[in-house]
Structure 1
Amino acid sequence: MSRPEAAAAPLEEVARRLAEAEGFDAFGIAAPDAAEAAGAHLKAWVGEGAHGHMDWMADTLERRADPRRMWPDVRALLMLGMNYGPAEDPRDVLARRTAGAISVYARAEDYHEVIKPRLKRIARALLAEARARGLEADVKVFVDTAPLMEKPLAAAAGLGWQGKHTNLVSRELGSWLFLGAIATTLPLAPTQSERDHCGSCRACLDACPTAAFPAPYVIDARRCISYLTIEHKGPIPLALRPLMGNRIYGCDDCLAACPWNKFAVAGREAKLAARAENDAPDLAELVSLDDAGFRARFPKSAIKRVGRDRFVRNVLIAIGNSGDVGFRPLVEARLGDEAEVVREAAGWALGRL
């Protein structure tokens, strides 16, 4: 039997308290059909080819548009957000041309490994409470790896709204939220959604270095630096390389430009705090990494997912944009690299220098 005071609280409130106890900063509940409109938009977006080479997005399109296609028994989705706000403007490193700019989310431990165990603990505790009340139920947890539209569902649950840069914006926490989801067969009541507060502002759109937003609320992944440095496997288009500056993994410009960040606070989860060596790493160190060195340099990091070859490709483009001829010997050493994508980037960088 559960404690009388716990039994008296609605399961929705129990879930909220569990989320707070696990360090989550935002919580809400969405109905399974809450992202139907976003699903239709996604289909049109993929149909235009704006997803680039992210074939997995097209392959899972039908399931992505409706959680019930993935799990027919789902009745509610608990949407949780964890703040990872930086202590300073992440764009400051862009002026340091011999250093690399890594997206804030990737400067610390892999957020999947931090968030998923906590979601599992919340889910187990919620199930235990439900069963103590005579309710049979099931749960599934997700952190950015399943065909689930986390951002539209989080907006429907009231965690924030999808801004003109297509990312979630919170009035209390700004642009810096990791999202997780717990799907359940429990009939939990949805929370109030948040309305759009972007107004006439277009700061995020104007901040994009590569003009990746053809219109507000629409992103062309093929021009997005985050896509190019992380998802894109081959040579990066020549016309976009000079616009990338020293961004070697991801890009925070549109997030950092949002005026709602004036209310943001630095994240409180120690495991999501940036490691000092990833704040502004020396390009000279990174360009010389072999595969073993790459894996040792980024332990427990989301950066490992791109692999050494793509990462060094990105570093070489940053070096080509640096204008520092002192890099030439290091670039020349990569002209004979085993990876074609690295050799090509080295040739381009050498030409720029």
Structure 2
Amino acid sequence: MGALRQWASTLGFSQIGVAHVDLSSAEPGLLAWLARGFHGEMHYMASHGLKRARPAELVPGTVRVITARMDYLPASVPPGWQAMEFDRLKQPDVAAVSLYARGRDYHKVLRARLQKLADQLAGAIGPFGHRVFTDSAPVLEVELASRSGLGWRGKHTLLLSREAGSTFFLGEIYVDVPLPVTEPESVHCGSCRACMEVCPTQAIVGERQVDARRCISYLTIEHAGPIPLALRPLMGNHVYGCDDCQLVCPWNKFAQRASLPDFDVRPALDQPTLLGLWRWDEATFLRLTEGSPIRRIGFARWQRNLAVAMGNALRAGEHAAMREALQQWLALPPLNGDDHALVAEHVQWALAQISR
């Protein structure tokens, strides 16, 4: 394990562990979560069934899972970053984009480096069966990470570490080699309920239970249709993801800065305003989000999210330029029927907030 840890560190990973593949004790919880419909429109969660909790069914021959942590907090973020992010949320005309999404798409970064780690292991022990994942397949990432000692599942369902809070990505290598397993971490949340209480939409419905249908990250990223009317006013200026439950978590005073430049903040996403982002056309959106996780939601959802945030800003006070920009958009000829209808409904809602 010593050599494996050294290779991982050189590749930018902060910590690795090794887990057993018997996750049978996690199956009842997964089934109950699906039965309550908490996965929303993420139909792939249900279609994969228990394969998510059975690594050897997903990749036949798997007997161990190497888990890896990679910190993403941008190196430029100063001390006191949580308070600064909360201040951003109090400024209605400013756009709030999740910290993890301000740089390069983590899928691309982790997958390539996990494969390099597997190649180095193969160079030491000989060829072996393996497959790498990072939020890209039916994998119980947090469950595997907690069982391998990378941290514990917080009440917001994210993995928490005493060394790094929760500002990190997880990746896995399924292997057919019986590597020695690492010991799990105990839970250190105690009676703290800060994450549950701060959630704007009250999506954390119980300890380690999230109703994705109410989660702002789900609504702005995974959800394809109209955002429910009752939830729009609660979303504030969030336009891509939500970090509130992480910002309030005491453990994130230990959050580690990223060692890779990939997660540095892009200039276009450094202190962006709602009006500035709304003025992007689709070509600008595609150019400025190239290689970014934001690009995968598409231009229509991006505009939908911005319209909701602008509506909340208009309700909070007079923003003449914002109102004018929305009205001008409605006057333009539609370019795509379905996408235009989706955005138009949210723009109309936003303008209706002026009189509220």
TM bucket normalised to smaller: over 0.9
CA distance in 2, matches of 1:258, 1:143: 24
Q: Give me the identity figure in percent.
A: 43
CA distance in 2, matches of 1:38, 1:247: 32
CA distance in 1, matches of 2:343, 2:40: 21
Deviations 1:260-302 (A, max 9, x none): 1122232222111222321331211222333222101211100
TM-score by length of structure 1 reads 0.92
Report what 1:310 is aligned to.
301
Q: 2:118 aligns with which of 117, 123, 128?
A: 123
Deviations 1:295-316 (A, max 9, x none): 0121110001100000100001
Report what 2:2 is aligned to.
13
DSSP 3-state at the match of 2:345: helix
Q: Is the 8 A contact 2:55 2:139 kept in 1?
A: yes
CA distance in 2, matches of 1:237, 1:24: 39
DSSP 3-state at the match of 1:82: strand
1:64 aligns with 2:52: yes
1:182 aligns with 2:173: yes
DSSP 3-state at the match of 1:334: helix
Q: Is the 8 A contact 1:213 1:220 kept in 2?
A: yes
Q: Is the 8 A contact 1:62 1:69 kept in 2?
A: no
TM-score by length of structure 2 reads 0.92
Structural mapping, 1:137-216, within 5 Å: 137-216=128-207
Report what 1:330 is aligned to.
325
Deviation at 1:40, TM superposition (A): 2.3
Report what 1:40 is aligned to.
28
Structural mapping, 1:220-299, within 5 Å: 220-299=211-290
1:23 aligns with 2:9: no
Paired letter, 1:222? R
CA distance in 2, matches of 1:69, 1:40: 17
Q: Is the 8 A contact 2:59 2:131 kept in 1?
A: no
Q: Is the 8 A contact 1:165 1:204 kept in 2?
A: yes
Report what 1:107 is aligned to.
102
DSSP 3-state at the match of 1:238: coil
Q: RMSD in angstroms over aligned alpha carbons?
A: 1.3
CA distance in 2, matches of 1:145, 1:92: 33
Report what 1:3 is aligned to.
none
Report what 1:82 is aligned to.
70
DSSP 3-state at the match of 1:274: coil
CA distance in 1, matches of 2:203, 2:45: 18
Report what 1:351 is aligned to.
352
CA distance in 1, matches of 2:302, 2:189: 34
CA distance in 2, matches of 1:334, 1:41: 46
Paired letter, 2:9? E
CA distance in 1, matches of 2:210, 2:277: 30
Q: Is the 8 A contact 1:91 1:252 kept in 2?
A: no
CA distance in 2, matches of 1:201, 1:239: 28
Report what 1:319 is aligned to.
310
DSSP 3-state at the match of 2:205: coil
DSSP 3-state at the match of 1:79: strand
CA distance in 1, matches of 2:6, 2:28: 34
DSSP 3-state at the match of 1:146: coil
Paired letter, 1:66? R
Report what 1:52 is aligned to.
40
Deviation at 1:38, TM superposition (A): 2.4
Deviates more, 1:78-87 or 1:153-162: 78-87
Paired letter, 2:4? A
CA distance in 1, matches of 2:273, 2:255: 29
DSSP 3-state at the match of 2:291: coil
Q: Is the 8 A contact 1:127 1:138 kept in 2?
A: no
CA distance in 1, matches of 2:7, 2:283: 40
Structure 2: which 5+ residue stretches go unaligned? Answer: none
Deviation at 1:143, TM superposition (A): 1.1
Deviation at 1:318, TM superposition (A): 0.6
CA distance in 2, matches of 1:38, 1:162: 12
Q: Is the 8 A contact 2:217 2:242 kept in 1?
A: yes
